[in-house]
A and B are shown apart, each in its own frame.
Chain A
Amino acid sequence: MSTRSEILKKIRGAVGGPDEKNVRRVSVEQHIKRHPAGTLPSKISSKAGAIKLFIKRAKSADATVEQCGTANVAEQVASFLREHNLPATCRTGTDYKLKRLVSSKANLLELSEGPSDGNDITAISCALGGAAETGTLILVSGPENPTTLNFLPENHIVILHEKDIVPHQEDLWKKIRKKYGSGEMPRTVNMITGPSRSADIEQTLILGAHGPLRLHIIIVKG
């Protein structure tokens, strides 16, 4: 008998017994199909409330947050870079909506495209959404927003559209099911709450570990 069937046999012997008529399998599949949400702790009734809470929570997780209209995104990025004395070069994926937002007539930014090899100082990504409850961004892998951009550059700028801010994680799972199909996922989904950190030396919290030292979120209105 293979290790697999031995382990499964042992489990069946201890819990539920053999599932010959697939009774347990059917009830388990129903649970997965229904995927009940459980308890959602914060009561958020309006979009404005969700945005306000998102900003508060993201800031308390040490992210910086700015809000602006679609016409001012490039300026916002440029001002963040200036503030931290960073070069005006940024890495992005192929997300054309994001590129349209950050390109400007005045050529404020120099953009390069593709995944990061570790030599980029700043990356810009577009989030699939944000969960207000904890100020958490959700980013998905793909050529539009490669996963390496979320981790290798020291500065990560994330564009988040107001309409994509939802109260809870569960709202984002709905969105992912709608986009990719039920039970399907992109290779990587990153839930990001603030810049990277470590408290491994004497339990003292230090920002900037292996991931970005700074996380800057630009919330785009409208």
Chain B
Amino acid sequence: MEIRSHKFRQNAADALANEQLQNALAHVRSKFIQKRAKAVNNLKAFDTLRDNATAIKNHTLENLDVYLEIFEEKVIAQGGQVHWAATAQEARGQVLDICRRVPAKTVTKGKSMISEEIELNEFLEQNDITPVETDLGEYIIQLRGEHPSHIIAPAVHVNMDQVRDDFRKHHTHLPEDRVLEEPKSLLLEARGILRERFLKADVGITGANFLVAETGTSVIVTNEGNGDLTQTLPRVHIVLASLEKVVPTLEDMSQILRVLARSATGQEMSVYTTLSSGPKRPDDVDGPEEFHVILLDNGRSSMLGTEFQDMLRCIRCGACMNHCPVYHAVGGHAYGWVYPGPMGAVLSPSLAGVDKTGHLPNASTFCGRCESVCPMHIPLPKMMRHWREREFEQHLSPPSNRRNLKLWAWFAVRPGWYRLMTRFSHLGLRILSGWSGSIRWLPFARGWTRHRNMPGPERQTFMQAWQRHLVERRKS
């Protein structure tokens, strides 16, 4: 998809004014947070498991070359094939080659963010192959011609009424007067339509939550069972996975699974965790005849050994965006590329370039909730700060920002001047607030006061209060 992250300000303003979107985002604010909190509170060992999961991924990244080689050896030994792709273009080409050889007309797909990253659907369509998204959320947005706005709940920006309208518009072979009042009837309709697609597809494409080196296994985690049908029914199964998905052993996978579902949907376990190893065996009566794994780099190896290496621990649970006040306010599409929320603000500049996505690490209040809920202890705010520094170093930030920062820096290293300046600003703000109330109009910050009042300052600055505190302590 075209990168629209440079328009973040405009996207955010549009999102804030979009009443329908704001209604939909309320579900993120309430449901996701409650469910996770409950699941985490029910497991005493959660924090220990987080530490373990983090250590497992760190160890794997430190030996990523060796683990990938072992994974590859195991896949080949089981009769599968591994394809290495440095870029999105290369990965797309590999998928197309396999599809053409089959030859495939229809491809069913399990939910995969890598598929979004490499813009696979558009590419397959251009080459006369029909991609069919089978996850309910992905199916809805495919009908709408949209991209996911959340990494685990792709249609979280859509309301039920919209889904109903879309189904009526697209499922024209069904009776017009059918009742579609409940989410359940919408789900059953999608189930019926996609069932036929599953049975007719020539190739099934899934992502991977894990690649297990020990056994050459790709693992997907789903609730609907769509990914599982995708990789069982067609003659060919293609796994799209990025390099960092590898974990050493089944036990290591189990440690991470315990924090994954709890952090994502608040479940103890997702309904289906499916482990696929190679193509069907000689005596198997179902399963695919071919098993391909496409290992995608697309910028990840360049993150290793840098201050952004920790981001490669990410298991795509979505907890960071579920708890982000900025995501709550503007939703996923405003971020303008594949990965939204705090994880996207760190990952997008790494994969797509800070020149195109530099607004994203700036779209944070640094409240730190993302880091506090991240099951892999990824220091997201710190990494966003690194990107802000790089943006500044590369002269990508607007001149007014740079000027103001320089001015601030001049004061910041001169404490006397700094205190004098704060006293003047304090006085100014007190006057603007009418000595006690809130501020309705502020020069240089009208963007703020146009939408809401700014609280007026306390009577004293922190330094004044501190001095007074010291004096009183000495007296007593």
Binding site for B on A (CB under 8 A): 2-4, 6-8, 10-16, 19, 24-25, 27-29, 31-32, 35-39, 41, 57, 61, 93, 114-115, 117-118, 133-134, 136, 141-143, 146-148, 150-152, 168-170, 173, 176, 183-204, 206, 208-212
Contact = CB atoms under 8 A, between A and B. Distances in A.
Given A142-B284, A206-B184, A197 B223 contact: yes
Nearest to A41: B45
Given A39-B255, A118-B199, A211-B271, A203 B31 contact: yes
Contacts of A38: 49, 52, 56, 251-252, 254-255
Given A3-B90, A173-B251, A208-B187, A28 B31 contact: no
Given A147-B232, A188-B276, 14 more contacts: A11-B301, A15-B63, A15-B304, A35-B214, A35-B249, A141-B284, A151-B228, A189-B274, A193-B267, A193-B272, A196-B272, A200-B153, A201-B158, A210-B198
Contacts of B248: 28, 31-32, 35
A191 B286 contact: no
B115 interface: no
Interface in B264-280: 265, 267-280
B155 interface: yes
A39 B65 contact: no
Contacts of B44: 41
Given A28-B63, A32-B213, A147 B287 contact: yes
Interface string B210-236: 000111110000011110110011000
25 contacts: A7-B86, A11-B301, A12-B65, A14-B305, A14-B306, A15-B62, A15-B65, A31-B59, A31-B249, A32-B248, A38-B52, A41-B49, A41-B258, A114-B285, A115-B286, A170-B250, A184-B215, A185-B216, A185-B217, A190-B272, A201-B155, A203-B31, A208-B187, A209-B223, A210-B134
B4 interface: no
What 3 pairs across the A-B complex have the smallest Cβ distances? A211-B225, A14-B305, A209-B224
B228 A11 contact: no
Contact of B287 (A8, A28, A187): A187
Contacts of B286: 115, 141, 146-148
A199 to B, nearest CB: 7
B159 A202 contact: yes
B224 A197 contact: yes
Contact of B155 (A28, A39, A200): A200
B417 interface: no
B136 A142 contact: no
B455 interface: no
B48 A39 contact: yes
B85 interface: yes
Given A38-B52, A41-B44, A143-B283, A14 B67 contact: no
A199 B265 contact: yes
A204 B26 CA distance: 13
Interface stretch (B68-76, B386-394, B421-429): B68-76
B379 interface: no
Interface residues of B, number: 103
Contacts of B186: 201
B197 to A, nearest CB: 11
A25 B241 CA distance: 23
Contact of A197 (B56, B251, B271, B274): B271
Nearest to B137: A200
Nearest to B86: A3
A212 B228 CA distance: 12
B201 interface: no
B285 A187 contact: no
B64 interface: yes
Nearest to B87: A3
A209 B297 CA distance: 33
Contacts of A190: 228, 272-275
B98 interface: no
B187 A206 contact: yes
A24 B66 CA distance: 7
B165 to A, nearest CB: 13
